[in-house]
Amino acid sequence: MKFFIDSADLSEIKEAEAMGVLDGVTTNPSLCAKVGVRDFEGHVAKICEMVAGDVSAEVVSTTYAEMLEEGRRLATIADNVVVKIPLIKDGIKAIKTFSEEGIRTNCTLCFSSTQALIAAKAGATYISPFLGRLDDISHDGLALIEDIVTIYTNYSFQTEVLAASIRHPMHVVECARMGADVATMPLSVMEGLLKHPLTDSGLEKFLADWDKLQASLK
């Protein structure tokens, strides 16, 4: 499974990269607004310089022609840019065109298996089902991940399942169990994957025993 960080914060991306487990970055307009991005394309360029993996940069256009214009411009920023497109009819049309042009895409805001099937048939590089947002309204987000993985496997679609809207470490574990290709998550969740109370208590005991041994040798 590939790990992406879901952030536009350069310091968070740098920290995730330093951990040595980062495979890419996803951004969206909300994340950019959160850190006060003014020059979006310049900001994407900075992120692309920081990481070697794919960087999803989202269009804000909602019509086919405008998405093509904006997406083509974003794709020229760096070789590792993936153009993020909303899962609407004009978005699917744009994904089909981008696929024919060799521009990689991340189809975002997916909330159903039917949407994921359409996106794969259009040639999306990634599909981003938002499992946490489904959980928020009492729907089973993980069941959607499982369904999409099964459907894509059944028909050998090349579209990668990028589990998004991840809220906690168990979301990551379950997505990995189901065979999702990618999990994109906040830095806090990525760091949470490391945590276990027995690791902390075990290390504390090891160090205490070492200090006791050193004291006995004086």
Active-site choice (14, 34, 46, 84): 84
Judge whether 121 counts as a catalytic residue.
no
What φ, ψ does residue 152 adopt, rounded to 5°? Answer: -65, -35
Contact call for residues 109 and 87 (beta carbons, < 8 A): yes
Largest CA distance in the chain: 77
d(CA 179, CA 173): 10
- 182-185 and 160-163 as β-strands: parallel, antiparallel, unpaired? parallel
Distance CA 104, CA 80 (A): 9
Return the axis-axis angle of helices 141-155 and 169-178, rounded to nearest 10°: 20
Cα 36 from chain centroid? 21
In single-letter form, the type of residue at position 114 comes to: T
What φ, ψ does residue 173 adopt, rounded to 5°? -60, -45
Tokens 């909330």, located at residue: 111
Residue numbers annotated as active site: 84
